[in-house]
Amino acid sequence: MIELFEKGYGKDAAGIAKEAIQYAKTNRFDVVLIDTAGRMQDNEPLMRALGKLVVVNQPDKILFVGEALVGNEAVDQLSKFDKSLKTFSGVDSHLPRGIDGIILTKFDTIDDKVGAALSMTYTINQPIVFVGTGQTYTDLKNLKVNHVVNALMS
């Protein structure tokens, strides 16, 4: 079962995430996904809030979700997000946390233009965990390495 826990906009994301995690524990959910909704990598107050969310909630994994269509812009976004997370989550004696993996959406639309995806994994030394190939949960797929290699060699 997938259930949505939301408290509206303009509130403390770290506090809402903490409530959601407690709700999930109480109701015996296995997984909690926290969507931080379209943060701009150059917006320092939002990046600080993201760092606070990480410090307060200590997530098991931090995944960056980006569009495959934007090419090298995604590499820049990813690099800045990772750097900001490490900067703003390493406070109050907490070890800095960076991005643990990548989800690339719209991967089915880039054909053989996979160079940016390769650059993303290289930039932060973390894997592409899933690629999105459609509009539903079942459209999240494992990345097929042979597809990437064939695209690079063609």
Query: Domains along the chain?
Result: 13-153 (3.40.50.300)
Query: Band of the pLDDT at 15, cuts 50, 70, 90?
Result: very high
Distance of alpha carbon 118 from alpha carbon 145, whole angstroms: 10
Q: What is the mean pLDDT of residues 4-11?
A: 82
Q: Return the pLDDT at 86.
A: 92
Cβ atoms 128, 99 nearer than 8 A: no
pLDDT digits (tens, 9 = 90+) for 23-51: 999 999 999 999 887 767 778 888 888 89
Q: Return the pLDDT at 47.
A: 86
Cβ atoms 114, 148 nearer than 8 A: yes
pLDDT digits (tens, 9 = 90+) for 101-115: 999 888 888 776 777
Q: Return the pLDDT at 114.
A: 77
Distance of alpha carbon 32 from alpha carbon 55, whole angstroms: 16
Nearest by Cα to 133 from 152, 105, 153, 113: 105
If you ran DSSP here, which 8-state letter would residue 42 be given?
T
Location of structure tokens 């495959």: 68
- Residues in Cβ contact with 100 at an 8 Å cutoff, skipping those fewer than 6 apart: 61, 62, 63, 126
Least confident of 5-14, 27-36, 96-105: 5-14
Distance of alpha carbon 130 from alpha carbon 102, whole angstroms: 7
Q: Is residue 1 scored above 70 in pLDDT?
A: no
* Virtual torsion, Cα 34, 40, 45, 46, nearest 10 deg: -10
The length of the chain in residues reads: 154
Q: Is residue 19 scored above 90 in pLDDT?
A: yes
pLDDT digits (tens, 9 = 90+) for 52-63: 999 999 999 999
